[in-house]
Every structure is written in C-alpha cells, then in structure tokens.
C-alpha cells in the first residue's frame, strides 16, 4: 500500500480546485492569523476581494410551492373580502417571483407548472370553503367553476410572464439540452 500524502490545504481550507479564487491566487499574509489566507491583487498587496452577493435561487419544487401558497392565500383573501381580483394578483406576483428566482436549469419544468399549481391551490381552498356544507361536491364544483372563470385572464397573464422571463433566462438552451438527451446526442 502506498504511503498517504500528508501535504494538502491548511485545516479548514478547501483544495485549490474548489476555491472560487482558483490556483495560485491565495497567498499567506504574514499579518493574518495562521491558517487564514487573503487574495493578492495586482497593485494591492493584500486587499481582500469583495464578496459578490448572488440573488437567491429556488428549485422548481420551491417555485411551484410558492405559486400554490400565494394562490391559496389569494383565494382565501378573495373569499373573506369579496375581492375577485385577489387570487389573480397573488398568482401573477408568485409567477413573477418564481420565474426570476428559480435556478436556470429548472426553467423548463417551471414553465409548464403555473396552471397546474393554481388548480391545486384552488381545489384546496374551495375544499376548505365547502367543508361542512351538506352538498360538499356541488359546492366544490360550483366554487371551482366560478373561481376559474374569474381568474382566467390572470392565469393566462401569469403563465405568459413565466414563459417570457424564462426565455430570457435560458429556456431555449434547456429545450436544446432536452432534445439532445432525447435523441441520444448526450
């Protein structure tokens, strides 16, 4: 059995190929405590690099859950306040937020999900609202039909916004990748 390598990164430090700074850019600063490294830049001997903050990213499951929760809340608010536009506005806001925050690799799945997510939310909300009535099934069907008829324009708007934002964020590349995988090219 060959001997184990004992040289490697300092304790608490990742290997060079994992660090965002890359190879050879981390240099020890004699004034820094042992084990800490700083990034050296040209013209600045030991200036630390400012951290870039990235916007939060959602998985497609988180995005769909956000749409369901917003739509459910909008439907309940519409029932309490007699505001028919509340579920549509909540759905559209949720669609905008998820299209902007979902990971680029999940855009294809997200682009087909908003109508299904809204339907699940409305079924849940109308089931809660119809619970306890004698004609539960009739109340549920009438509530669903009414709610879907009221929100149809908002449903189209939210879904269209998701598609437009997804196209600019990389949906065509996802479609090409899917086509390559289905045709056996990758």
pLDDT single digits (tens) 93-132:
999 999 999 998 889 999 999 999 999 999 999 999 988 8
CA R_g for the chain? 26
Please state, for a pLDDT cut of 90, what percent of the chain lies above it: 44
Q: What is the pLDDT of residues 10-46, one digit of tens each?
A: 666 655 555 455 555 555 555 555 555 555 455 555 6
73 near 128, Cβ under 8 Å? no
Residues 6+ apart with CB under 8 A from 122: 71, 75, 87, 144, 147, 148, 151
Over residues 54-85, the pLDDT tens digits come to 767 889 999 999 999 999 999 999 999 988 89
Q: Is the per-residue pLDDT at 182 higher than 80? A: yes
């Amino acid at each position: 059995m060959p001997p184990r390598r004992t040289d490697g990164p300092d304790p608490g430090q990742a290997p060079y190929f994992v660090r965002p700074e890359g190879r050879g850019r981390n240099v020890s600063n004699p004034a820094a405590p042992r084990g800490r490294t700083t990034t050296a830049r040209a013209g600045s001997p030991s200036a630390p690099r400012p951290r870039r903050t990235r916007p939060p990213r959602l998985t497609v499951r988180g995005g769909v859950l956000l749409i369901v929760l917003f739509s459910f809340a909008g439907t309940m608010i519409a029932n309490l306040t007699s505001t028919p536009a509340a579920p549509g506005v909540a759905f559209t806001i949720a669609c905008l937020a998820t299209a902007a925050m979902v990971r680029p690799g999940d855009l294809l799945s997200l682009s087909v999900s908003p109508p299904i997510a809204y339907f699940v939310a409305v079924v849940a909300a109308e089931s809660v609202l119809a619970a306890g009535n004698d004609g539960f099934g009739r109340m549920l069907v009438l509530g669903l039909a009414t709610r879907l008829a009221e929100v149809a324009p908002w449903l189209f708007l939210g879904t269209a916004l998701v598609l437009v934002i997804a196209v600019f964020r990389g949906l065509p590349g996802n479609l090409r990748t899917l086509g390559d995988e289905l045709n056996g090219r990758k």
